[in-house]
A and B are shown apart, each in its own frame.
Chain A
Amino acid sequence: MPATRKPPGEFTETARSFPSSPGGSTHGRSARAGRSADPVVLPDELPGFVLADALARLRGNRRLLAELLLQFVAEHCDCTVSVARSLSTTRLAEAVATLHRLKGAAVVVGARDVADAARAAEQAVLHGRDASLVALHDALMAATEAVCANVAVEDRARASGDAALDVTLERLAQSLRGADASALALSAELRRAAPLAWPQDLLDDIELRARRFEFAGALASLERLLEWRRRVT
């Protein structure tokens, strides 16, 4: 199954599905090249992106770049809407902050066109000029389309074992309470290792929030998961 493109409003988070055959990707040749060593579909080039520079900064970590690209479009694809809303209510500082964040994230993942458009819009707002958001919207949509159609990250295999899961749950709770970044890896580990019978929506929510570093929200979901686990056992 190819990585499917979702409308921006419905895009949730990192694509979980990995193409069943490399040819499923629009950029099959590049995807094949990336897949043999690392279960990641990441083309060498994407329109509007400078992936080579981003990859060099990330020390060639293709999986990380693929995950960041997916996270980038998931987090920012509807950014224009929030900027427009801020501008329409003259909350200029809020608009500048949103554009600044977008620009920073775009630069990190090599989204050149989005970064340029966000920079232009930020400067326009800062200098009291009319900020046309059309170029930014177009750049964001093109970036979202390119990433959703061409980038995917494979789920790693599940492993189980109640004792190991209990340890992971405990460590994850501690990390979330202490604002410890190890929560990021632990939440991913939990979702991979938890049996399919576990509430997948909670596992997904915990991982998603941890990945956004929303630790309080992740902890709340983890507590719901623990409560569920107490009930069923």
Chain B
Amino acid sequence: MSDSRPRLLIVDDEPINLRVLVEALSDDYRLLVAKDGDEALRIAAGASPDLILLDVMMPGIDGYEVCRRLKEDGETRDVPVIFVTTLSDEEAEARGLDAGAVDYITKPVNLRTMRARVRTHLHLHDAQQRLATLSRMDELTGLLNRRSFDEALDTEWRRNLREETPLALILCDIDHFKQYNDRHGHLAGDVCLREVAGAIANAMRRPTDVATRYGGEEFAALLANTDGEGARRVAETIRANVASAVVGAVNGRGEGDVVGPVTISCGVAVVVPSAAAHPTDLVARADAKLYEAKAKGRNRVEE
């Protein structure tokens, strides 16, 4: 049976301190322990703790340096760190918080307050994570939003530039969506957007494939390390999935209804990124192809 409790990493070179913290927290959390900074960094990188309790004075690298390195590493940057130390002067506390810690507790610790503080910081961290996730999502369709698309495009552009591999973009637009909304109402329009989003998401096969709502009735699929043939195949799959689906919806009066079918047009662009080019060039090319698909009669893919 897997242990779903939050995972804490406790770092201290003194077994008695470790023992006290383990006693305080073992009922509610899964606890990992490290006795020096190097071990702490190794465990933090491998075990993805939800929170780290960190001593300052330890053999080898001290707690401040451990915290600094944790905050530099993309994998551990967001893990909350609480310093637990006997250093009680103002300067030491300020240094700890400056290093990126969320809290600073002086020894000897009171088990009740320690538990409360850990619980509070885990709740705060959880709320922050959920907010961060929400800020990246499109609420209606459940796909990533435009901001996430911009970030993903930037990241994948640089990755494919480094690896000299092709980066593909598929821009999709629902055909005659305004008329669809006018005829069936905006609630039906929302259902339509969700179903098209689902069809696009279903066509994403690899973990690196990114499906986003680009805006309005437009969607974008970003495919790293994908050539023209591969991108066209994915675009055709999306188009066929949407065209064959009968979009179930509710009408403006909240009654069950069946409307559709719906079709989409897709523009496909593929480039091997170069230092001279810019990510927006890829978007512009895919956009031009999308217009071409519309001009050629819609419900089609243009590359």
Binding site for B on A (CB under 8 A): 54, 56-59, 61, 64, 67-68, 71-72, 75, 97, 100-101, 103-105, 107-109, 178-182, 184-185, 211-215
Contacts and interface: CB of A to CB of B under 8 A. Distances in A.
A57 B16 contact: no
B16 A75 contact: yes
Interface majority SS (helix, strand, loop, mixed), chain B: mixed
Nearest to B110: A57
Contacts of A64: 19-20, 23
Interface of B: 10, 13-20, 22-23, 26, 30-35, 39, 43, 47, 57, 59, 86, 107-112
Given A59-B112, A71-B15, A178-B32, A104 B107 contact: yes
Contact of A108 (B22, B32, B57, B107): B107
B52 to A, nearest CB: 13
Given A180-B30, A181-B33, 9 more contacts: A57-B109, A57-B110, A59-B111, A64-B23, A103-B86, A108-B17, A108-B20, A211-B19, A213-B15
Contacts of B111: 57-59
A107 B31 contact: no
A75 B17 CA distance: 12
Contacts of B107: 104, 107-108
A61 B17 CA distance: 15
B1 to A, nearest CB: 12
A32 to B, nearest CB: 25
19 contacts: A54-B108, A56-B110, A57-B111, A59-B111, A59-B112, A61-B23, A64-B20, A75-B16, A97-B59, A100-B57, A101-B13, A104-B86, A108-B20, A108-B108, A109-B16, A178-B47, A179-B39, A179-B47, A181-B18
B35 A213 contact: yes
A178 B30 CA distance: 11
A59 B35 CA distance: 25
B225 to A, nearest CB: 34
A-B pairs with lowest CB-CB distance, top 4: A181-B31, A105-B16, A104-B86, A212-B15
B112 A181 contact: no
Contact of A71 (B16, B57, B86): B16
Nearest to A56: B110
B36 to A, nearest CB: 11
B86 A213 contact: no
B10 A181 contact: yes
B76 to A, nearest CB: 16
A100 B31 contact: no
A86 to B, nearest CB: 13
A61 B20 CA distance: 11
Nearest to B18: A213
Contacts of A75: 15-16
Contacts of B22: 181, 184
Contact of A104 (B17, B34, B39, B47): B17
A107 B86 contact: yes
Interface centre among A97, A103, A179, A185 (most CB of B within 10 A): A179
Given A71-B16, A213-B35, A185 B108 contact: no
B34 A179 contact: yes
A193 B23 CA distance: 21
B14 A179 contact: no
A143 B151 CA distance: 61
Contact of B14 (A58, A105, A211): A105
A68 B19 CA distance: 8
B23 A71 contact: no
Nearest to A215: B33
Contacts of B30: 180, 182
A184 B32 CA distance: 11
Given A58-B111, A97-B59, A101-B13, A184 B19 contact: yes
Contacts of A56: 110
Contacts of A57: 108-111
Contacts of B10: 181
A179 B46 CA distance: 11
Nearest to A108: B108
Contacts of B33: 179-181, 213, 215
Contact of B17 (A59, A105, A184): A105
Contacts of A71: 15-16, 19
Contacts of B110: 56-57
A65 to B, nearest CB: 10
Contacts of A108: 16-17, 20, 107-109
Contacts of B19: 64, 67-68, 71, 184, 211
B212 to A, nearest CB: 37
A103 B106 CA distance: 13
Contacts of B35: 213-214
Nearest to B16: A105
Nearest to B7: A180
Contacts of A184: 19, 22
